[in-house]
Structure 1
Amino acid sequence: MTSTARRAPRILVRSAQVAIAVSAVADVFRAAAVRDDHLHRTGASESGFISMVFVYLMTLAIVLFLVWLAQSRRNAQELSPGASVPSRGRTIGMWFVPVVNLVVTRGIVLAIGRASSASWEEKRDTTLVNAWWAAWVGHSLVLLVASRVAPGSMAFLVVEEALMIAAAVLAGLVIERITALQSAALGAAVPAEPLAQA
């Protein structure tokens, strides 16, 4: 039986990982510039420019991550037809539903990971996804609380940006792990072409 699943192109995987990392670093500069502007009220457009660059980089990272996730979902479905893998619409759409995206998306990534290979290590791999998800949600919550309770607070800034960097690193590791599992499973599932008769 030949699988129609396709490995995610390495360029897509690496591009998603790099875009996520670069947008996390850009967020550190954005947060520092916004804090500086908040404290000194200079009216300079530097924080606006840095924020605009961050938005572009984050948008690119989101698009690349979702393209990778859609490809991974398709592969997982092909590799494990009986597994409970979310539909393509749910896999992508749930990321855009406020509040729901803080809960449901973790389960989507876990379902794709579990369906990707029998080599999924439940404790280790689930812990990796949970750590990424906790850092991402933690960053969002700290950012929300800081903006309401103590705008410009250095303590909140350090915590929120540490969580952002951690989420970016862990997202890169999640991408790497699921891609590696699928690549290995696809390598085993797709038979070699028969040799041509001489």
Structure 2
Amino acid sequence: MDGAHQDSTAGTANGLPSVPMQRFRAVSGPARAAALLIPAATVGNALITVSDWRDYLVVHAYRAGTATVADLRAADTFALWVSIPQVVLYAAAGAVFLLWLWRARCNAELYGPRTAQRRARGWVIGGWFAPIANLWLPHQVVTDIWRASAPRSPAPRGPVTAWWALFVADTLLSRSMGHYYLAKKVTESSLRHAAALSTVCATLDLAAAVLIVVLLTRITAWQNRRHTPATG
């Protein structure tokens, strides 16, 4: 059951049924997994960038007469071998992060009135998949969890805003790369342009990954310190 501790109950002396209290959800396990998988996915993204530059350089060499068809095929094979694990890593990192985020949000409700959270629980997951609204809803969710979990109030929101700005910039640029590939005829020039965009995306992705690992680690530590395990 979400790795949570057992429900605590508030009984009454007159024999009325006890009222279950909301449980603290264990966040350390998902946080550790996310802290491993997110950097791994970032390394995978860097390998995609290496593959993009390799494609350009091999095509450039082929046009100059210094590379063969076998070299072109080898570049295609390398791109395939790095892209498949990349998809798997991103899916795994995303799933573990959302699990952590859900539990952290449930715990955040223990530290204050539910109205302190601007969005209903469903938006913790759904906000990432809502068209257009996913440009700000996840930021609100993480900001509210950060604010509720912090031992001191108000907590500085700069780290959350910096992470989100990097993440959105990376996402929008990655989407523009996809449109570019679909709209443009693949040429040596387009491959060079795509590799340059890929390099920028990899840099943004790395910076965003570092910040989100810092954020989730800090929120996890805050929540663990504020939680007093039940005894007996």
Which bracket does the TM-score occupy, shorter chain normalised? 0.7 to 0.9
* AA aligned opposite 1:5: R
- Matches of 2:145 and 2:135 in 1, distance apart? 17
- Cα 1:152–1:89, aligned 2, differ >3 Å: closer, same or farther? farther
Greater Cα radius of gyration, structure 1 or 2: 2
Q: What TM-score do the two structures reach when normalised by structure 2? A: 0.72
State yes or no: 1:107 paired with 2:140: yes
Please show how residues 51-130 of structure 1 align to structure 2 within 5 Å.
51-85=83-117, 86-123=119-156, 126-130=157-161
Which residue of the partner structure matches residue 137 of structure 1? 168
- Cα 1:142–1:134, aligned 2, differ >3 Å: closer, same or farther? same
State yes or no: 1:159 paired with 2:200: yes
My pick for the range that moved more, 132-141 or 166-175, is: 132-141
SS at the partner of 1:96?
coil
* AA aligned opposite 1:112: I
- Matches of 1:51 and 1:97 in 2, distance apart? 26
SS at the partner of 1:75?
helix
SS at the partner of 1:119?
coil
Q: C-alpha displacement at 1:35, in angstroms?
A: 3.8
Tell me the alpha carbon deviations over residues 41-69 of structure 1, each in whole angstroms, 9 at most, x when there is no partner: 52422212211100000000000000000
Structure 1 gap ranges (5+): none
- Matches of 1:9 and 1:113 in 2, distance apart? 14
- Matches of 2:192 and 2:120 in 1, distance apart? 41
Q: Percent identity?
A: 30
Which residue of the partner structure matches residue 65 of structure 2? none
- Matches of 1:143 and 1:120 in 2, distance apart? 36
Given that residues 170 and 204 in structure 2 are in contact (C-alpha distance below 8 angstroms), is that contact kept between their aligned partners in structure 1?
A: yes
Q: C-alpha displacement at 1:182, in angstroms?
A: 1.3
- Matches of 2:110 and 2:155 in 1, distance apart? 20
- Matches of 2:87 and 2:94 in 1, distance apart? 10
Q: What TM-score do the two structures reach when normalised by structure 1? A: 0.83
Which residue of the partner structure matches residue 210 of structure 2? 169
Higher relative contact order by CA 8 Å / sep ≥ 6: 1 or 2? 1
* AA aligned opposite 2:97: F
State yes or no: 1:16 paired with 2:47: no
RMSD: 2.5
* AA aligned opposite 1:59: A
SS at the partner of 1:92?
helix
My pick for the range that moved more, 43-52 or 21-30, is: 43-52
* AA aligned opposite 2:129: F
- Matches of 1:5 and 1:176 in 2, distance apart? 20
Given that residues 7 and 186 in structure 1 are in contact (C-alpha distance below 8 angstroms), is that contact kept between their aligned partners in structure 2?
A: no
- Matches of 2:104 and 2:211 in 1, distance apart? 17
- Matches of 1:137 and 1:38 in 2, distance apart? 27
Which residue of the partner structure matches residue 186 of structure 1? 227
- Cα 1:183–1:80, aligned 2, differ >3 Å: closer, same or farther? same
